[in-house]
C-alpha cells in the first residue's frame, strides 16, 4: 500500500468516526476541554471512548497505555485451563483512535503534577489536562513476601501470579502443561480485598477441568488466606465435591508467610508447609503505582477514596480514579464490569463539570461476574447498586441481585456474549 | 421478608433524587449500565438481544415482568429488581430513541 493510500484510509476512518460522533453532538451539552486517561484497561478504555462519544467529539481525550493491545483478565482462566488461547482474549486498541478519535499514546505515565495539571511519561513527554482519569489497575505488594524482596521479577517467573493477563497467563499454562501427571498445583489466595473475588476459585475449577481430562492423578490444592470461600461459596463447593471430586482440596485460613522458591514450597503463618510442582502465588494488591505518585492513595496506604457521584479523588482535585484502584464501596467488588460502570459515571460527571453543570445526583451501577466451572458451564453473581445520598455511597439495592441456582451451558453462552459486548463497549 | 420490606424505602429514595434534581442525561447514564451485555447504546454484538430501537412499551413491559417474576431468565429477574418503575420507563424510553443499527 502506498503512503498516500494509507493516509487516505486513515483520514476516511477518522471522518467516519466523526460521523459517529456528530450523531451524538446534541447530548454534548457544551463540554470543552482536555482529558488525559492513564491506563487502557476495563476502566480507562471505557472512559476514553465514552468521553468522546458523549461529548460528540468536542472534548479532547488522550489515553496513555504501554501495552500494545488489550488483554482481558476475564476469560483468561480459560487460557490457563487450555480451552482458549491468549489471542482469544486479546483486542487491539486501534478503533479507539480510528473510530472515536482518541489520541493513543503508547507510554507509561510516571509523573502527575496535580496543581499544574500535567502528566509526564517514561518516554519524556508531557500532557496538560483539565481533568485526569487514573485507571491503573493493581500493583502487587511483593514486599509482603520475604523471598520476593530481593528480586520480585525473578520470583514471578518461578511462581506466576497470572493476575494481570498476558505473558504471566501463558507462563502458568506452560508450567501446567510441563507438569507430570500425579503432580500438585497449589494456588495461594490473599486476604480480601483483592481483584475479582471469585477469580481464584474459577481458576481452581479450570485447572481441575484440565487435570480431569489430561492428568487425572494430579491435584489442585487451594490455600486461602481468608476464613472461607469469599464468593459463590455454595456453587464452587458443589463443583469441587461433585464435578472435581478427588481433584480439588480447599484449605481456609492459610495466610502466606513466605515462599521457598528453590524447592517450590509455600510457608504459612499457621499450618503445614506445602511443596508443589506448580505454585501459583497471588500476592496482596493495592492501587496501581501512578495513584501513589499522584498522591491520591488515601485508604490504608492501599486504595483511593473517591466521591461516588463523580469518582473524583477525595484529595486530588481534578483527578478521577476508576476500577480496582478505588476504595470499594460496601458490596462493590473489584471487577471489570464494575470498572466499566465506574468509567461511565465518571465520564458523565466530567462532561457535566466541563460544561459548568453539577453531576447526575443519582448514579446507578450494575455488576455481573460469570465464573466458568467447566469449559462451557457457568454460574453468575449479579447486583444493582444505587446512590444513597445520606450515606454518600453507592450501595446494593436490597432484594435485588443474586446467584445462579446451578451451573449451565446457557449461562456459558451468555458469558461469552458478555465478553464480546464489554470488549466492544470499551474498545470498538 | 426483610429484603421485601427494604425495596420501597430505597425505591423511594431513588425516585426522590430522580425528581429533585433532573439531569438531562440521567436516562442515558442508567441505560449505559446495560451496555456491558446488550452492547453500546443497546446495539448488541451478538448472544444477547439488542435493545436499541425497540418500542418503549416492549422493553418496559419485559422489565416489569422480570421484576415481578412472571418472565423467566437467568440474570434479568435479579437485575430488574434493582430498578424502580420510573427508572425502567426512563431507560426503555431512551433505548426506543436509539437507532437500531
Ligand atoms: C483471573 C481473573 C479473572 C477475572 N474475571 C473477571 C470476570 O469474569 N468479570 C469481571 O468483571 N472481572 C473479572 N476480573 C477482574 C478484572 O480484570 C479487573 O477488575 C479489571 O481489569 C479492573 O479494571 P481497571 O481498569 O481497574 O484495571 P486494568 O483492567 O488492569 O487496567 C489497568 C491498565 O492500566 C495500565 N497502566 C498501569 N499503570 C500505568 C501507567 N503508569 N501509565 C499508563 N498505563 C498504566 C495497565 O497497563 C493496564 O492496561 C478478573 C481478574 C482476574 C485476574
Cβ of A42 closer than 6 Å to ligand 1, yes or no, is yes
pLDDT of residue A30: 83
The atom of ligand 1 lying closest to the CA of A108 is 42
Domain shared by A197 and A326, yes or no: no
Compute the average pLDDT of residues A296-324: 97
Domain shared by A197 and A299, yes or no: no
A215 phi, psi to nearest 5 deg: -140, 65
pLDDT of residue A151: 97
pLDDT of residue A235: 97
Identify the domain boundary among A254, A281, A308: A281
Closest CB from B3, B13, B75 relative to A368? B75
pLDDT of residue A8: 37
How far apart, in whole angstroms, are the C-alpha atoms of residue A192 and residue A324?
13
Closest CB from B47, B82, B83 relative to A420? B47
* pLDDT cut 90: percent of chain A above it: 92
Domain shared by A149 and A235, yes or no: yes
Best interface-test mutation with A: which of B33, B34, B38, B63 has the largest number of A CBs within 10 A? B33
How far apart, in whole angstroms, are the C-alpha atoms of residue A212 and residue A202?
15
Domain shared by A314 and A421, yes or no: yes
Q: Which fold has domain B24-96?
A: Cytochrome Bc1 Complex; Chain D, domain 2 (1.10.760)
Domain contains A297: yes
C-alpha cell at A168: 504471566
Does residue A18 surpass a pLDDT of 60? no
Cβ pair B48:A417 closer than 8 A: yes
Domain contains A91: no
C-alpha cell at A179: 507438569
pLDDT of residue A38: 98
Domain contains A82: no
Domain count within chain A: 2
A342 phi, psi to nearest 5 deg: -55, -45
Domain shared by A133 and A180, yes or no: no
Domain shared by A186 and A146, yes or no: yes
Does residue A178 surpass a pLDDT of 80? yes
Cβ pair A421:B30 closer than 8 A: no
Domain shared by A154 and A135, yes or no: no
Instruction: For the sheet with A131-134, list strands across it.
Output: A103-105, A59-64, A33-38, A131-134, A319-321, A312-313, A306-307
pLDDT tens, position by position, A186-237: 999 999 999 999 999 999 999 999 999 999 999 999 999 999 999 999 999 9
pLDDT of residue A316: 86
Q: How confident is the model at residue A20 (pLDDT cuts 50, 70, 90)?
A: low
pLDDT tens, position by position, A70-103: 999 999 999 999 999 999 999 999 999 999 999 9
List all residues of chain A from 369 to 388 with a beta carbon under 8 Å from chain B.
380, 382-388
Supply the CATH number for residue A182's domain. Answer: 3.50.50.60
Per-residue pLDDT of chain B (101 residues; tens, 9 = 90+): 333 333 333 444 444 444 444 688 999 999 999 999 999 999 999 999 999 999 999 999 999 999 999 999 999 999 999 999 999 999 999 999 999 97
Could you give the ipTM of this predicted complex? 0.91
pLDDT of residue A29: 73
pLDDT of residue A26: 45
How far apart, in whole angstroms, are the C-alpha atoms of residue B1 and residue B62?
25
CA distance B76 to chain A (A): 9
Query: What's the domain range around A42?
Result: 23-66+107-139+288-359+413-427
Q: What is the pTM of this model?
A: 0.93
Report the nearest-CA residue for atom 15 of ligand 1.
A335
> B-chain residues within 8 Å CB-CB of A408?
74
pLDDT of residue A11: 39
pLDDT of residue A19: 52
pLDDT of residue A413: 98
Cβ pair A400:B2 closer than 8 A: no
pLDDT of residue A28: 55
Cβ pair B36:A366 closer than 8 A: yes
Q: B35 near B42, Cβ under 8 Å? A: yes
Q: Is A356 on the interface with B (CB under 8 A)?
A: no
3-state secondary structure chain B: CHHHHHHHHHHHHHHHHHHHCCCCCHHHHHHHHHHHHHCHHHCCCCCCCCCCCCCHHHHHHHHHHHHHCCCCCCCHHHHHCCCCHHHHHHHHHHHHCCCCC
Residue B82's nearest CA partner among B67, B70, B72 is B67
Best interface-test mutation with B: which of A400, A402, A409, A414 has the largest number of B CBs within 10 A? A400
Amino acid at each position: 500500500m502506498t503512503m498516500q493510500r494509507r493516509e487516505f484510509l486513515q483520514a476516511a476512518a477518522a471522518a467516519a468516526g466523526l460521523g459517529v460522533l456528530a450523531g451524538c453532538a446534541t447530548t454534548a451539552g457544551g463540554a470543552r476541554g482536555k482529558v488525559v486517561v492513564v491506563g487502557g484497561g476495563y476502566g480507562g478504555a471505557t472512559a476514553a471512548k465514552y468521553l468522546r462519544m458523549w461529548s460528540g467529539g468536542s472534548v479532547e481525550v488522550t489515553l496513555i497505555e504501554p501495552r500494545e493491545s488489550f488483554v482481558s483478565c476475564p476469560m483468561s482462566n480459560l487460557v490457563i485451563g487450555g480451552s482458549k488461547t491468549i489471542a482469544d482474549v486479546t483486542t487491539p486498541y486501534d478503533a479507539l483512535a480510528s473510530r472515536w478519535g482518541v489520541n493513543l499514546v503508547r507510554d507509561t505515565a510516571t509523573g502527575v503534577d496535580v496543581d499544574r495539571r500535567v502528566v509526564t511519561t517514561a518516554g519524556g513527554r508531557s500532557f496538560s489536562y483539565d481533568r485526569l482519569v487514573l485507571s491503573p489497575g493493581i500493583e502487587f505488594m511483593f514486599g509482603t513476601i520475604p523471598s520476593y524482596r530481593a528480586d520480585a521479577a525473578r520470583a514471578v517467573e518461578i511462581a506466576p501470579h497470572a493476575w494481570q493477563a498476558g505473558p504471566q497467563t501463558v507462563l502458568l499454562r506452560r508450567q501446567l502443561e510441563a507438569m507430570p501427571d500425579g503432580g500438585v498445583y497449589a494456588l495461594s489466595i490473599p486476604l480480601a480485598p483483592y481483584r475479582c473475588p471469585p477469580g481464584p476459585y474459577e481458576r481452581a475449577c479450570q485447572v481441575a477441568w484440565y487435570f480431569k481430562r489430561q492428568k487425572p492423578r494430579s491435584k489442585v490444592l487451594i490455600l486461602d488466606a481468608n476464613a472461607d470461600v469469599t464468593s459463590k461459596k455454595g456453587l464452587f463447593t458443589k463443583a469441587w465435591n461433585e464435578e472435581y471430586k478427588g481433584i480439588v482440596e480447599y484449605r481456609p485460613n492459610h495466610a502466606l508467610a513466605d515462599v521457598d522458591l528453590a524447592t517450590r514450597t509455600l510457608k504459612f503463618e499457621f499450618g503445614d508447609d506445602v511443596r508443589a510442582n506448580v505454585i501459583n502465588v497471588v500476592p496482596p494488591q493495592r492501587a496501581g503505582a501512578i495513584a501513589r505518585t499522584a498522591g491520591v492513595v488515601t485508604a490504608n496506604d492501599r486504595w483511593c477514596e473517591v466521591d461516588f457521584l463523580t469518582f473524583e479523588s477525595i484529595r486530588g482535585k481534578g483527578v478521577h480514579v476508576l476500577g480496582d484502584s478505588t476504595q470499594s464501596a460496601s458490596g462493590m467488588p473489584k471487577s471489570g464490569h464494575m470498572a466499566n460502570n465506574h468509567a461511565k459515571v465518571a465520564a458523565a460527571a466530567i462532561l457535566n463539570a466541563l460544561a459548568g453543570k453539577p453531576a447526575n445526583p443519582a448514579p446507578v451501577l450494575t455488576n455481573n461476574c460469570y465464573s466458568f466451572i467447566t469449559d462451557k458451564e457457568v454460574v453468575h453473581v449479579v447486583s444493582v447498586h444505587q446512590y444513597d445520598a445520606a450515606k454518600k455511597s453507592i450501595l446494593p439495592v436490597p432484594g435485588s441481585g443474586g446467584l445462579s441456582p446451578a451451573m449451565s451451558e446457557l449461562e456459558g453462552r451468555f458469558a461469552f456474549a458478555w465478553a464480546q459486548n464489554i470488549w466492544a463497549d470499551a474498545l470498538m | 421478608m426483610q429484603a421485601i420490606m427494604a425495596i420501597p424505602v430505597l425505591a423511594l429514595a431513588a425516585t426522590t433524587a430522580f425528581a429533585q434534581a433532573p439531569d438531562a442525561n440521567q436516562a442515558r447514564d442508567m441505560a449505559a449500565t446495560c451496555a456491558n451485555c446488550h452492547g453500546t447504546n443497546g446495539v448488541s454484538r451478538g448472544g444477547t438481544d439488542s435493545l436499541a430501537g425497540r418500542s418503549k412499551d416492549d422493553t418496559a413491559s419485559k422489565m416489569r415482568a422480570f421484576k415481578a417474576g412472571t418472565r423467566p431468565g437467568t440474570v434479568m429477574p435479579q437485575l430488574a429488581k434493582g430498578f424502580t418503575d420510573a427508572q425502567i420507563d426512563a431507560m426503555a424510553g431512551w433505548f426506543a430513541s436509539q437507532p437500531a443499527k
